[in-house]
């Protein structure tokens, strides 16, 4: 399989796949023309990575998860710990954004948004 097809089937851009090779996630064989030649296993790995990234796991966490995925003797506790950590991180980010949202939506709601210069948004940002 050439990179284009893998890209289509995995949903990842070809650029990203090359990058994932760079950082050691996959190691496709090479044809005589120098083209990468991916197998089904590579495709499966890349799809795995795409989903893990889609759930917000960092590249390093993906590395760990991939290793656990391929380790038949893993303990699910190890997987769960990584996932729980990511979940906590996501919760923290949501909380941060909710806090911003709270302040900002209030400010936006109280700004007239007309041609006059008076603006509660700037007043808030510029408060002493």
> Does 5 participate in binding DNA (rule CB under 7 A)?
yes
Which lies closer to DNA via its Cβ, residue 75 or residue 90? 90
Q: Least distance to DNA from the beta carbon of 118, Å?
A: 27
- H-helix segments, the chain: 3-10, 14-22, 40-54, 59-70, 76-110, 120-125
Q: Which entry of DNA, a copy of itself, none binds 36, CB below 5 to 8 A by partner kind?
A: DNA
Binding test (CB under 7 A) with DNA, winner from 9, 47, 48, 53: 53
Q: What angle do CA 29, 33, 18 make, to 5 degrees?
A: 50
Q: Which entry of DNA, a copy of itself, none binds 3, CB below 5 to 8 A by partner kind?
A: DNA
CB 20 within 8 Å of CB 26: yes
Tokens for 102?
Answer: 């709270």
> Does 96 participate in binding DNA (rule CB under 7 A)?
no
């Amino acid at each position: 399989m050439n990179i284009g097809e893998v890209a289509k089937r995995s949903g990842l851009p070809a650029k990203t796949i090359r990058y994932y090779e760079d950082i050691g996630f996959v190691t496709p064989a090479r044809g005589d023309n120098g083209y990468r030649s991916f197998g089904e296993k590579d495709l499966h790995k890349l799809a795995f990575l795409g989903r893990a990234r889609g759930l917000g796991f960092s590249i390093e966490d993906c590395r760990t998860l991939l290793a656990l995925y391929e380790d038949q003797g893993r303990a699910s506790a190890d997987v769960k710990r990584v996932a729980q950590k990511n979940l906590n991180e996501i919760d923290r980010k949501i909380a941060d954004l909710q806090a911003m949202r709270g302040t900002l939506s209030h400010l936006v709601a109280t700004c007239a948004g007309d041609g006059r210069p008076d603006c509660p948004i700037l007043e808030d940002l510029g408060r002493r």
